[in-house]
Structure 1
Amino acid sequence: MKWLKRLAVSSLIMAGVTATSTHAKELGWPEKEELTFGFIKLTDMAPIAIAYEKGYFEDEGLYVTIEAQANWKVLLDGVIDGRLDGAHMLAGQPIAASIGYGTKANIITPFSMDLNGNGITVSNEIWKQMKPNIPKMADGRPQHPIKADALKPVVEKYKSEGKPFNMGMVFPVSTHNYELRYWLAAGGINPGFYAPHKGDTSGQIDADALLSVTPPPQMPATMEAGTIYGYCVGEPWNQQAVFKNIGVPVVTDYEIWKDNPEKVFGITEAFAEKYPNTTIRLTRALIRAAQWLDENNNANRPEAVKILSQSNYVGADYEVIANSMTGTFEYEKGDKRPVPDFNVFFRYNATYPYYSDAIWYLTQMRRWGQISEDKSDEWYFETAKKVYRPDIYEAAAKSLVADKLATAQDFPNFATEDGFRSPQTHFIDGIVYSGLKPNEYINKFSIGLKQGETL
């Protein structure tokens, strides 16, 4: 019955969307015009801010209010209870909600907001201890990417002295949690396990490094206070540590997993069913904003930084946001290097909601015990398809092409696209990921639960 209902919704959304698509005026008026969207103060909320500031929402007949949220839980609860119509979300949030981890709710995403954009920062004291373990380039600067192998002796020293090695991430189902865990484990440091079936959701079982939640804007101050020794967070809160001279970003997520999916735009399944025209139209506006952010080799980024620096958006200094948003990234103070793809909003099909992206998050939930028991490959596929909605995206994209606001070449080939990226090879540990083989992928890791294992 669920799949019949889903098919009916997809048919409604795709009505009139043929191979040549339909113009915006033929999509139908938005059923709900006044909307409230939530976000967290991070630079990757940019597509929402740009869609608002450039009038793309209004072009769709949508009158949007944008509200910063205190933390990711408050944001998710706001979407579930209807206080928010949609939000900038951690990619793991709608996926976790769909399987009932933490909160049970039917959240979907028709739009992936960006690729990359995160970093791992350590305090000056930890950096001082790590640095002798890092190979140097000819000019004396550290050789990148810096692997967690360089941190392992430091963590072992703390453990031998009976000191917990505390690190921060932004939410239990955040990309940041999984990226930090991935990086640590690739360097032989166990980041710990979850055991929800035993009532343990600390994620610290058998851990060498103890990871806990800290809201993004509070990361630098929490590290400066000595509560944590390092953290994984989105921008501008890694660069803020450099500007405040309290820490050193040691690796970006681009170096952990090149062109990894980051945030999504989340709405309830009920919203999409009740307001199909509104859903397509808000997706159109967000696609246009993402295009604007990346067009002409990021020529619009300085203007975007100026917008994001406003207190009603990210509210950090222009220089701090620009450090990563305009194609560079500063590691140790004065060590600024080109990273043109640190923030990607449209190129490389960044906005398309790939099933394989959702499946990667599910494999990490299983790897670290948030999913307690084995699941079949088919379960991973079915779960991804409940949450990620390329059918909605396709309807929006085709209508933009029909309106000459985009070209077919801007998007995947919808006639052949199956929702699975080609096997991805650019991980810091060299392990290849294929979304078509989730269990095979899980079994490749030396640290982490494998098929047949539970805590």
Structure 2
Amino acid sequence: MTAERITAGFIPLIDAAPLIVAHELGFAEEVGIELALVRESSWATIRDRIAVGHLEVAHLLAPIAIAGSLGLPPLPVSVIAPLALGTGRNAITVSPALAENLAQYGELNGNAALTGQALKAFAEERGPSAKVTIAVVHPFSAHAYFLNYWLRGCGLRPNEDVVVEVLPPSLMVDALKSGRIDACCVGEPWNTVAQHVGVGRAVVTCDDIWSANPDKILGVRKVWAEDHPDLVQKTVRSVFQAAKWCDQSKNKDRLIDILSRPRYLNLPTDQVRQSLDEDYLHFGQTTRRACFARPGATYPSVQHGLWFYNQMIQNAQLTHNERNIQSVRDMYRPDIYRKALADFSDADEDEMSVPSAFFDGRAFEPSAL
């Protein structure tokens, strides 16, 4: 029987591993599908290629999918999220010069609140004529919302007290090196690469802002999903099994070998290894919770989607109404997740509540929207 071919886009990041491994190690083949992987350099390109039908599924920023489903510009795109792609693996990295300046206001030990206070003091001293510039990977991204949440929590106004601009993940290291930006909020492996080549220092992980934070989803083009429900379930099964494989320490060396290949991350194995290290950016202050498949990492959480939606409101990207909330709820598909993984005892069964483990001690209540 010929396997059904499914075109899947990805960005060269550590959290694309489940999709890559599903293809490389035969998890897709086992369920009767062929994942044809397409590497892209920017999230905008991934979004556009889903919108025009070039991709059936993709490694995708959850907020881009939400924005597209809400019809926000520049290109509306209807996507569903039947699977989440892990937690953690994002950080804020600053240039050596900025790190040196921040250190004058206190020890840089990974404490989000104290580091934010140092940034605020430095920004005030520097003044409006020389604002700190921080890059994020997309306006509709977890990175943008984590960064802005952190800045506001520390008394800084995004795009007023500091400049926030957008760059593709793979350009962050070069932008730090050239001095175009002072800092960035980006996913792995780019924080590790910046540290390795001496152009950046990670000062806060997004786990320090929101413990076990969500980020990417397996985005599936809605029209295609409605026409091919069986293939969607098969894709979910294969990527879930791959995510479990990625989380097993005995498979780490092989995972590093796969991800480092030119067609994927195209990086030296030592840098990929460091990106996967449980303590890669930590300062002894918190326990890292980055993972591919442990509890809560694969479940398509509506509450996570509503947190991102709330951040869109806070960032004046849209206005709130009940129709928008329903669109977010409709985009996340735990029903497909449960059906596809009914035979897996280790799949999440219920909604994982958004933890109150934000750095400022606040809790998010979706019912308050």
Q: Same fold (TM over 0.5)?
A: yes
* Offset at residue 143 of structure 1 (A): 5.9
* 1:177-209: CA deviation from partner (whole Å, max 9, x where unpaired): 1111111111111113xxxxxxxxxxxxxx111
* Offset at residue 339 of structure 1 (A): 7.1
Secondary structure of the 1:147 match is helix
Contact 2:88/2:214 (8 A) holds in 1: yes
Distance 1:216 1:143, change over 3 A: closer
Amino acid at match of 1:365: M
Match of residue 249 from structure 1? 202
Give the whole-Å Cα distance in 2 for the aligned partners of 1:33 and 1:294.
27
Match of residue 347 from structure 2? 411
Match of residue 256 from structure 2? 305
* 1:92-141: CA deviation from partner (whole Å, max 9, x where unpaired): 11100011122212111111011111000010111101012224xxxxx7
2:80 is aligned with 1:80? no
Contact 2:109/2:285 (8 A) holds in 1: no
User: Which residue among 392, 403, 407 is the counterpart of 2:336?
Assistant: 392
Give the whole-Å Cα distance in 1 for the aligned partners of 2:7 and 2:110.
45
Contact 1:123/1:229 (8 A) holds in 2: yes
Give the whole-Å Cα distance in 2 for the aligned partners of 1:61 and 1:363.
39
User: Which residue among 269, 274, 278 is the counterpart of 1:323?
Assistant: 274
* 1:248-293: CA deviation from partner (whole Å, max 9, x where unpaired): 1001011110011110011111011111111110010011011111
* 1:15-67: CA deviation from partner (whole Å, max 9, x where unpaired): xxxxxxxxxxxxxx99x811211111111100011111110100111112111
Give the whole-Å Cα distance in 1 for the aligned partners of 2:192 and 2:149.
22
Between the two proteins, the alignment pairs up a number of residues equal to 367
1:311-350 correspondence to structure 2 within 5 Å: 311-330=262-281, 341-350=288-297
Gaps of at least 5 residues in structure 1 are 1-28, 136-140, 193-206, 439-455
User: Which residue among 26, 37, 42 is the counterpart of 1:66?
Assistant: 37
Contact 1:356/1:436 (8 A) holds in 2: no
Give the whole-Å Cα distance in 1 for the aligned partners of 2:55 and 2:68.
16
Secondary structure of the 2:294 match is coil
Contact 2:135/2:165 (8 A) holds in 1: yes
Give the whole-Å Cα distance in 2 for the aligned partners of 1:366 and 1:108.
21
Amino acid at match of 2:298: T
Give the whole-Å Cα distance in 1 for the aligned partners of 2:153 and 2:287.
25
Match of residue 236 from structure 2? 283
Give the whole-Å Cα distance in 2 for the aligned partners of 1:348 and 1:151.
34
Secondary structure of the 1:343 match is coil
Give the whole-Å Cα distance in 1 for the aligned partners of 2:320 and 2:353.
25
Match of residue 83 from structure 2? 111
Secondary structure of the 2:190 match is coil
User: Which residue among 134, 137, 143 is the counterpart of 1:176?
Assistant: 143
* Offset at residue 159 of structure 1 (A): 2.2
Match of residue 89 from structure 1? 60
* Offset at residue 246 of structure 1 (A): 1.3
Contact 1:325/1:343 (8 A) holds in 2: no
Give the whole-Å Cα distance in 1 for the aligned partners of 2:325 and 2:301.
11
Give the whole-Å Cα distance in 2 for the aligned partners of 1:173 and 1:383.
16
Secondary structure of the 1:151 match is helix
Contact 1:324/1:342 (8 A) holds in 2: no
Secondary structure of the 1:307 match is helix
Contact 1:355/1:388 (8 A) holds in 2: yes
* Offset at residue 385 of structure 1 (A): 1.9
Give the whole-Å Cα distance in 1 for the aligned partners of 2:212 and 2:58.
22
* 1:203-242: CA deviation from partner (whole Å, max 9, x where unpaired): xxxx111111111011011011111100000001001111
Give the whole-Å Cα distance in 1 for the aligned partners of 2:290 and 2:250.
13
Give the whole-Å Cα distance in 2 for the aligned partners of 1:278 and 1:71.
26
Amino acid at match of 2:278: G
Give the whole-Å Cα distance in 2 for the aligned partners of 1:213 and 1:104.
19
Contact 1:305/1:321 (8 A) holds in 2: yes
Amino acid at match of 1:176: H
Secondary structure of the 1:133 match is coil
Distance 1:318 1:132, change over 3 A: same
Give the whole-Å Cα distance in 1 for the aligned partners of 2:88 and 2:106.
24
Amino acid at match of 1:384: V
Secondary structure of the 2:366 match is coil
* 1:294-336: CA deviation from partner (whole Å, max 9, x where unpaired): 23xx3322321221111111112211121131312146xxxx7
- When Rg is computed on C-alpha atoms for both structures, the one with the higher figure is 1
Match of residue 264 from structure 1? 217
Secondary structure of the 1:288 match is helix
**What percentage of aligned pairs have identical amino acids?**
30
User: Which residue among 113, 119, 122 is the counterpart of 1:154?
Assistant: 122
* Offset at residue 343 of structure 1 (A): 2.7
Distance 1:346 1:339, change over 3 A: farther
- The alignment yields a C-alpha RMSD, in angstroms, of 2.0
Contact 2:110/2:285 (8 A) holds in 1: no
